[in-house]
Amino acid sequence: MRLHDIKPRPGSTHRRKRLGQGESSGHGKTSGRGGKGQSARSGSSIRPGFEGGQMPLIRRMPKRGFNNANFKTYYAPVNLDSLNRFEDGAKVDEAALITLGLANQAKAGVKILGRGELKKKLTVCAHAFSATARKQIESLGGSCEVTGAQPVAAPAK
């Protein structure tokens, strides 16, 4: 098989609709665009929520209350099975996780999650641990250290 032999799966592609091919085609005259007006013109697109110059509903509604999402802490998740890359007895911290590409440094901190199975005894330093991750690390004789630096809240949008 070569690149020029590749074809899409049968039924996955469709012919484009040929508009304006006479009245009997069913797609003649206005070509499915209705009558006259802004939406009938070529290149026209009206953004979502636009109400023709009237004050939009989203701006007419009163803005009240408190939204806690602005103050949420965003952790970079790291699962237990990915910690098996480290040697037995190693100290795993945020810098080590970032150098291996396991944690995204754009996040506020690192949280160790309990997916997978850990096979090595490690000393893990992170901002947060799930209960299952902490239990599995400590059952192998390792230790969980919560770093003192609190993660920063995500910037408000």
Q: In this predicted model, what pLDDT tens digit does every residue of 11-25 receive, in sequence order?
A: 999 999 999 999 999
pLDDT value of position 54 = 95
Sheet holding 91-92, edge to edge: 91-92, 123-126, 143-146
Percent of the chain at pLDDT above 70?
A: 93
Q: In this predicted model, what pLDDT tens digit does every residue of 61-117 receive, in sequence order?
A: 998 888 888 888 889 999 999 999 999 989 999 889 988 889 887 677 899 999 999
pLDDT value of position 123 = 94
- Predicted TM-score of the model (pTM): 0.56
Three-class secondary structure of residue 93 per DSSP: coil
CB 52 within 8 A of CB 61: no
Q: Delineate the domains of the chain, giving CATH numbers in brackets.
A: 20-50 (no CATH), 73-146 (3.100.10.10)
